[in-house]
A and B are shown apart, each in its own frame.
Chain A
Amino acid sequence: MKPAHGRPIAALFRRDMKLAFRRLGESLLPLFFLFTVIVLIPLGVGPGPNLLARMAPGMVWVAALLASLLALEHLFRPDLEDGTLEQWFVGNDSVYGRVMARLLSHWLITGLPVIVFSPLAAEMLNLPDHALGTLILTLLIGTPALSLLGGLAAALTLSTRGASVLLSILIFPLVVPLVIFATGAVSMTADNLDPGAYIGLLGAFTILALTLAPLGIAAALRMNLE
């Protein structure tokens, strides 16, 4: 009989999603956090519609980054604490696949709701209507990279003291190109320019992250267990 490769990976994914849906309120807290950030900034800089429209792409993206940070600390830690993580490296199935399954569920829980609710955020910040499509597109392309790089930072800081502060310090320089490409694309659309180049670069960055980050995550997880 053929060994059922992939079955434990699918089981891991189903388990993660089930847990997230059982605690739906808790899972959606990052999304509410995103809106608190988006409300706080106009309160700080003033409600001028032109100013807000200029800042909108950056604010949505920075808020999305902060929201994805919230769930990162618990991305691998419960598995480390109850010993499940060690089983990842004992079994026959690829650690790579498990890492991807975990990141996919992280993205579905933190990235996707942000995309779904981004039109609301864009409207609140007075982003020009014709730039909304580009904003959603950049979020669709870019938030998976956010989960990937966040996963790398989470894996690196897994068994450290004060992981959450360290995690945010590590992730910030890594996501600089992502924020620049994504907000650049949206701003260019808002100025009626062609954002194609920026979207292409954003896609290239995500593909690079997709290729390399899971390897780095798997290596870092293994080292944390040593």
Chain B
Amino acid sequence: MIWKKLKLWFHMLGSAPYFYGFSRRVAPWLWAGFAITTLYGIYLALYVVPPDYQQGDSARILYIHVPSAWQAMFIYGVMAILAVIALIWRIRLTEIMAMSCAPIGAALTLVCLATGSLWGKPMWGTWWEWDARLTSMLILLFIYIGIMGLYAAFDDKRKGARIACVLVLAGAVNIPIIHFSVEWWNTLHQGQTIRLIGESSMDPSMLPPLLWMVVATKLFFGAALLDRARNELIDQDRNKKWVSERILEAA
């Protein structure tokens, strides 16, 4: 019974007007959750956790850096799954959702790179180091930008989305290979690597704010995805009847 209802709901979600209403109702809650978890996480990170014994207060940037890095990779996974669904079942809404993932993922990759760079200047003495992780994040950013660029280069948005989904899958096959190749490249050329704090060697007191921030980035992704997909949807359907009806209804 529940299963049937869930299935029906999933099918209804594929319809543009229904998704429009659904995302309008759900996104504000996600934004609110994001605001609360972020504020609480930042509060813990700045006021409760003691400064790192070696890095002092600059270690606190980790609470933004690490969750955004994880989320940037997580988003690629979500985008790849959506791309598979979009290519196999040709659901228009999944195409739009997959394409809406790319700018969010690119933004979080950029946040990760920027915070890492800010942290690297006082800690490593340089804004940029050809470290394996930094380099693979940079390549991930290029892949995201490539996907966005390809999608934007088509006048026919559905065609663009489907072709960009093929690129998403090519990237999904390639990203693990890129990751390991870059890791081997770096270790062979430089010998010593400067490592970020490993999870196992992290003090337990640092964990709660990190977890709150991880939850916050997940909520941010959900909220931003729903908003972006909704905007893309009404942009594509701007000449359709349901859009004018909904907009008039809201006004």
Chain A contact residues, CB within 8 Å of chain B: 152, 156-157, 159-163, 166, 169-170, 172-174, 176-177, 180-181, 184, 188, 201, 205, 208, 212, 216, 219-220, 223-224, 226
A180: B residues at CB distance < 8 A? 181-182, 184-185
Is there an interface contact between B150 and A212, defined as CB atoms closer than 8 Å? no
Residues of B near A170 (CB, < 8 A) are: 146, 149-150, 167
A188 to B185, CA, bound (A): 11
Residue numbers in B under 8 Å from A176 (CB-CB): 139, 178, 181-182
Interface of B is mostly: helix
Residues B181 and A166 in contact, CB atoms below 8 Å apart: no
Contact assessment for A166 and B171 in the assembled complex, using a CB-CB cutoff below 8 Å: no
Q: Which residues of chain A have C-beta atoms less than 8 A from B163's C-beta?
A: 156, 220, 223-224
What A residues does B162 contact at CB under 8 A? 223, 226
Q: Is the CB of B166 within 8 A of A156?
A: yes
- The verdict on A169 contacting B177 (CB below 8 Å), with A223-B162, A223-B163 known, is no
Interface residues on B, range: 20 to 34
Measured between beta carbons, the chain A residues less than 8 angstroms from B177 are: 177, 205, 208
Contacts of B78 in A (CB 8 A): none
The answer to whether B169 has its CB under 8 Å from any CB of chain A is yes
The verdict on B190 contacting chain A, using a C-beta distance below 8 Å, is no
Q: Give the shortest distance, in Å, between B72 (CB) and chain A (any CB).
A: 14
* Min CB–CB distance B146 → chain A (angstroms): 5
Contact B174 A177 (CB under 8 A): yes
Complex Cα gap A188–B184 (Å): 13
In-complex Cβ contact of A157 among B87, B153, B174 (8 A): B153
CB within 8 Å of A: which B132-189 residues: 139, 142-143, 145-146, 149-150, 153-154, 159, 162-164, 166-167, 169-171, 173-174, 177-178, 181-182, 184-185, 188
Closest residue on chain B to residue A158 by CB atoms:
B163
- A177 with B178: CB separation less than 8 A: yes
CB distance from A31 to the nearest CB of B (A): 27
- Asked if A181 and B166 sit within 8 Å, CB to CB, the answer is no
Instruction: Indicate if the CB atoms of A152 and B184 lie closer than 8 Å.
Output: no
Chain B neighbourhood of A223, CB < 8 A? 159, 162-163, 166
Check A157 against B150 for contact (C-beta < 8 Å): yes
Contact present for B166 and A169 (CB under 8 Å): no
> What are the residues of chain A within 8 A of B87 when measuring CB–CB?
219
Q: How far is the CB of A155 from chain B (nearest CB, A)?
A: 8
Q: Which residue in A160, A166, A174, A184 is a CB contact (below 8 Å) of B185?
A: A184
Name the one of A160, A163, A173 contacting B178, with C-beta atoms under 8 angstroms: A173
Which of B87, B153, B169, B170 lies at the interface centre, i.e. has the most chain A CB atoms within 10 A of its CB?
Answer: B170
Known: A180-B182, A180-B185, A184-B184. A173 touches B150 (CB 8 A): no
Contacts of B143 in A (CB 8 A): 173
* Nearest CB of chain A from residue B246's CB, rounded to whole Å: 29
